[in-house]
Homo-oligomer: A and B are copies of this chain.
Amino acid sequence: MSRSSASSSPFVVSASTESRGATGSNGHTAAKPSQLGVAVIGCGYWGPNLLRNFHESRDTKLVGVADLNPDRLAWARGLYPHITATSSADELISDPRVDAVAIATPVNTHYELAMRAVRAGKHVLVEKPLCHRSDLARELIEEADKRKVTLMVDHTFIYTPAVRKIKQLIKDGDLGQIYYYDSARINLGLVQSDVNVLWDLAVHDLSIIQFLFNETPQAVSATGMRHISGRPETIAYLTLHYGSGLIAHCHVNWLSPVKVRRTLIGGTRKMVVYDDVEPSEKLRIYDTGVKVGPHGDAREGHPDYRLRIDYRKGDISIPHLEGKEALKLEVEHFVESIRSGKPPLSGGQEGLQLIRTLEAASQSLFLKGQPIPL
Residue in B3, B27, B127 whose beta carbon sits within 8 Å of that of A189 in the complex:
B3
Collect the chain B residues with CB atoms within 8 Å of residue A156's CB: 1, 5-6
Oligomeric state, in number of copies? 4
Interface of A is mostly: mixed
Assess whether A8 is interfacial by the CB under 8 Å rule. Answer: yes
Contact between A368 and B300, CB atoms less than 8 A apart: no
If A2-B45, A48-B17 touch, whether A266 touches B257 (CB-CB below 8 Å) is: yes
The answer to whether A72 has its CB under 8 Å from any CB of chain B is: yes
In the complex, the answer to whether A4 meets B204 with C-beta atoms within 8 Å is yes
Is there contact, CB below 8 Å, between B239 and A67?
Answer: no
Which of B20, B71, B253 has a CB less than 8 Å from the CB of A182? B253
By a CB distance below 8 angstroms, the chain B residues around A302 are: 44, 68-69, 71-72
- Asked whether B320 lies within 8 Å of A318 as measured between CB atoms, the reply is no
Q: Is the CB of A288 within 8 A of B188?
A: yes
Judge whether A292 is part of the interface by a CB distance below 8 angstroms: yes
Interface size on A, residues (CB 8 A): 140
Q: How far apart are A160's CB and chain B's nearest CB, in angstroms? A: 5
Q: Are B271 and A72 closer than 8 Å at their CB atoms?
A: no
A210 within 8 A of B: no
Cα distance A6–B161 in the bound complex, in angstroms: 10
Residue of B nearest to A234 (CB): B179
Measured CA separation A239–B316 after assembly (Å): 32
**Complexed CA–CA distance, A109 and B305 (Å):** 13
Q: Which of B25, B179, B193, B306 contacts A235 (CB 8 A)?
A: B179
Tell whether, in the assembled complex, residue A225 and residue B306 are in contact, meaning their CB atoms are under 8 Å apart: no
- Asked if A4 contacts B200 (CB within 8 A), the reply is yes
A102 to B93, CA, bound (A): 45
* A251 CB-CB contact with B under 8 Å: yes
- A303 to B80 CA separation, bound complex (whole angstroms): 17
Indicate if the CB atoms of B368 and A368 lie closer than 8 Å.
Answer: no
Selected from B47, B234, B289, B370, the residue in CB contact (under 8 A) with A369 is B370
- Per the bound structure, the CA–CA distance linking A364 and B237 in Å amounts to 15
Minimum CB–CB distance for A163 against chain B, Å: 9
The smallest beta-carbon distance between A257 and chain B, in angstroms, is: 4
> A49: which B residues are within 8 A, CB to CB?
1, 13
Ordered by A's residue number, 23 sampled pairs between the chains whose C-beta atoms are within 8 Å are: A3-B187, A4-B189, A13-B49, A17-B75, A24-B75, A27-B78, A44-B302, A44-B305, A45-B303, A105-B300, A106-B305, A190-B306, A193-B306, A221-B369, A225-B247, A229-B292, A237-B239, A241-B368, A257-B288, A258-B264, A317-B317, A317-B318, A369-B371
